[in-house]
Amino acid sequence: MRVSKAIETRVTIRQFLPTPVPEKIIREILEIAKRAPSGGNLQPWNVHVLVDDPLKALVDDIAGKLKKGIEEDPEYNVYPPELVDPYKTRRRIVGQMLYELIGVPRDDLPGKLKQLSRNFRFFDAPVGIFFVMHRQMEIGQYADLGMFMQNIMLLAREYGLHTCAQEAWARWPETLQEHLGLADHEMLFCGMALGYSDETAIINKLTSEREEFENFATLHGF
Ligand SMILES: Cc1cc2nc3c(=O)[nH]c(=O)nc-3n(C[C@H](O)[C@H](O)[C@H](O)COP(=O)(O)O)c2cc1C
């Protein structure tokens, strides 16, 4: 598959089939993805991959906590508290598009929370991945981790797989520390669902917008 094709066909999938992903494929994807560049070649990523019993134990634990109304202090703010435009509007639009598609009205908070909670089942994906970093790391290393994650998301396409990057997992630092056996110096940055897309699911029909070239690119000296 051409890189451009992998980029064009990578979309966020929020409903997966139960079809398992062979361990061999997961290993191959991670082996190739590790060629991602990183400043100073720090390779600041650590990955935990969960399938079967460990995945079920985690999602059941969180489902139980959600039922009891238990929450944790998030590991970090996923978005700036006072998000400015155009970013605020872009975020609102994609949210509106998603909820409209799945028939959740604007003022239906329980409906929105229900959809949010689907994150904590990995949208039924058979594989859950967690990206962990040393707490000492700075902004540059988050970029490195992003490149590593993007490698995984693009490689997934080559294997006919899809993904959903999931910052939502930052809401459960204590539970994840326990389930993944993280040391105190390790922080959970992001989760990712991996599996085969359920092509019949309406939620997977979402096509998010992108800004026009001239609104994000400035060419100098052409
Ligand atoms: C780092 C990162 C974290 C994300 N976290 C979540 C998440 O927790 N839940 C979710 O449903 N989508 C999540 N997304 C998906 C974005 O909403 C999605 O990438 C964006 O709306 C663009 O849509 P597309 O990926 O289909 O092109 C995340 C994406 C990235 C890159």
CA of 177 to the centre of ligand 1 (A): 23
Position 159 in a domain: yes
CA of 90 to the centre of ligand 1 (A): 12
118 Cα nearest atom in ligand 1: 11
Position 97 in a domain: no
Domain count along the chain: 1
Close Cβ partners of 67 (under 8 Å, ≥ 6 residues apart): none
Residue 129 has a pLDDT of: 98
Residue 189 has a pLDDT of: 96
Position 185 in a domain: yes
94 Cα nearest atom in ligand 1: 21
Average pLDDT per consecutive 10 residues, the chain (222 residues; last block may be shorter): 97 98 98 98 98 98 96 95 96 96 94 95 98 97 98 98 98 98 97 98 97 97 96
98 Cα nearest atom in ligand 1: 21
**Secondary structure percentages of the chain, helix, strand, coil, to 5:** 50, 15, 35
Position 111 in a domain: no
The one-character DSSP state at 16 is B
- pLDDT (tens digit, 9 = 90+) per residue, 10-50? 999 999 999 999 999 999 999 999 999 999 999 999 999 99
The best mutation among 92, 149, 164 to test binding of ligand 1, ranked by most ligand atoms within 8 Å of the C-beta, falls on: 164
CATH number of the domain within which 147 lies? 3.40.109.10
pTM, entire model:
0.96
CA of 52 to the centre of ligand 1 (A): 24
- State which residues form the domain around 46: 3-78+119-209
Position 113 in a domain: no
Position 51 in a domain: yes
CA of 191 to the centre of ligand 1 (A): 11
3-state secondary structure of 52: helix
Q: Is 123 exposed, middle or buried (0-12, 13-18, 19+ CB in 10 A)?
A: buried
Q: Which element (helix H / strand E) includes 193?
A: strand 186-195
> Which of 50, 28, 34 minimizes the C-alpha distance to 158?
28
The residue whose CA has the least distance to atom 2 of ligand 1 is 165
Residue 65 has a pLDDT of: 97
Position 64 in a domain: yes
